[in-house]
Amino acid sequence: MVLADDEEREYGDAEAAKEKRASYEKQGIGVISMKDDFKTIYGEGVQKAEP
C-alpha cells in the first residue's frame, strides 16, 4: 500500500498516514512511504499548487 505521507511534495497527511501504516502492518500489508521511499513524485519543475 502506498502511503500519502509527504506533505512537502504532495498533499499528504502524516498523522493519518501513521494510523494507516499501523493498520496495514497489523493486517500484514506491505507499506511504501511517498516521503521516505520515493526519490521523486512528479517530474522536474512541477510544483505543488495551492488548494
pLDDT of residue 43: 83
46 assigned to some structural domain: no
Q: What is the pLDDT along the chain (51 residues), one digit of tens a residue?
A: 999 999 988 888 989 999 999 999 999 999 999 999 998 888 888 888 877
3-state DSSP call for residue 18? helix
Establish if 11 belongs to a structural domain: yes
pTM of model > 0.85: no
DSSP state for residue 48 in the 8-state scheme:
P
Number of domains in the chain: 1
pLDDT on residue 46: 83
Domain that holds residue 9: 1-25
Domain contains 36: no
Residue 49 lies in a domain: no
Distance CA 41, CA 34 (A): 7
* Residue 31: inside a domain: no
30 domain-assigned? no
Cβ atoms of 31 and 21 within 8 Å: the answer is yes
